[in-house]
Amino acid sequence: MFKKVSLKLILPSLLILGIVRCVIHNNISEEYQFVWDISIENHTGISKDLHQKDGKHRGMSVFGWQRNHNESINQLVKNNIEWVAIVPFLYQKTEKTTVVRLRKEYDNWSRSDSTYLSSVEKIHARKMHVMLKPHLWMNEGWRSNIQMDNTEEWNVWFESYRKEMVHYAKLANHAKIELFCIGTELKSSLIAQPEKWNTLIKEIKDVYFGRLTYAANWDGEFNDVKFWDQMDYIGIQAYFPITNKNNPSLNEIKKGWKKQIKLLEALSKKHNKPILFSETGYRSDETATIEPWIWGSALDIVTNKKSFETQNLAYEALFQQLWDKDWFAGLYFWQWHVDSVEGSNYEKMDFTPRFKPAENTMAKWYGRE
């Protein structure tokens, strides 16, 4: 019986496991040679604050804040990151949920609020700047596709959203945060209730005195925003498809930007506002420039092939094509975890540039004067 079980179950299972391990080993293997340039790094612990000279946002979306992250901020400074996007998460279960989850009270700072305030204080002490960018998160669906059955439900939803955003606007003003993002990828609400957004902007401006932006998705949502004249920046979630092939060359990626640049330049000229990439990024896999908005999964290591080279070339091409444009105000890469340790991202094909060649390429361009 043992022999029969071994032949029918154990041996096939071991064979499948061996094949999977071989596939994974092949997928994470890469012969890309990259020479790290430490000369462009800033080890002083204090930002050069080049934004004061050229107005560019040298940004990063940073997660994992705790009360003591001095060394984590050192790593940001080292890579010439000058703007930090702090991203509190709002929550609702699905696209049909009529209320954004509300905090218990609005008159005091919560524990997470206090953590953000402490982090902002430490960031400012290094001559760095902050964008506060609350995101609405869902278990099912996408915030851009929120759907309500009637006007009453839309009004209930927006009122809950309004309460949360006014709270964060007050926090931003209290902490002297330089830029506040009033919304991210909320297309269906923009279309359904434009007057509500105008009222919200007025209320935010009554309690917050810094600069404002809205983060519109790359797929045309920016045409549905009717209040760009009230913003300081046109914010774009810039996950544009750039190529249609795996492992593209630098020139192929640069060529893929030409159409998008014409669109962005026309948008900036139309509204007389600078373009800010409120979020952008590329996975470290060979398909990263085809559909950059696609989130990875645990199965990527089996179904896809790691490519630090593709991620790095995508960073280089973006900077070469956009950085020196007068209408381009800068960008925030997605994403950076303060608790990552060296070696932890070697097998990962996710968006972070940490400990990958793209980190050094970003530092090179962010350090340009």
Which amino acid is located at 239 in the chain?
Y
Per the structure block, which two tokens stand in for 4? 């029969």
Per the structure block, which two tokens stand in for 21? 């391990």
Q: At what angle are helices 111-125 and 70-78 packed, to 10 degrees?
A: 50
CA–CA separation, 350 and 344 (whole Å)? 12
Angle of CA points 74, 77, 79, to nearest 5°: 115
Half-sphere exposure of 278 (CA within 13 A, CB side): 28
Which CATH superfamily hosts domain 2-366?
Glycosidases (3.20.20.80)
137, β-bridge pairs: 91
Per-residue pLDDT at 2: 58
CA–CA separation, 19 and 307 (whole Å)? 21
90, β-bridge pairs: 136
Per the structure block, which two tokens stand in for 11? 């041996």
262 class by beta-carbon count within 10 Å (0-12 exposed, 13-18 middle, 19+ buried) = exposed
Per-residue pLDDT at 21: 60
> What residues in the chain have per-residue pLDDT under 70?
1-29, 67, 296-303, 343-347
CA–CA separation, 66 and 309 (whole Å)? 32
Where are the domains positioned within the chain? Answer: 2-366
Closest to 285 measured CA to CA, from 335, 328, 248, 318: 248
Per-residue pLDDT at 307: 94
Q: pTM of whole model > 0.85?
A: yes
Per-residue pLDDT at 75: 95
Per-residue pLDDT at 183: 98
Question: Contact, 349 vs 306, CB < 8 A?
Answer: yes
Per the structure block, which two tokens stand in for 226? 């009717």
Per-residue pLDDT at 339: 83
Closest to 329 measured CA to CA, from 368, 258, 278: 278
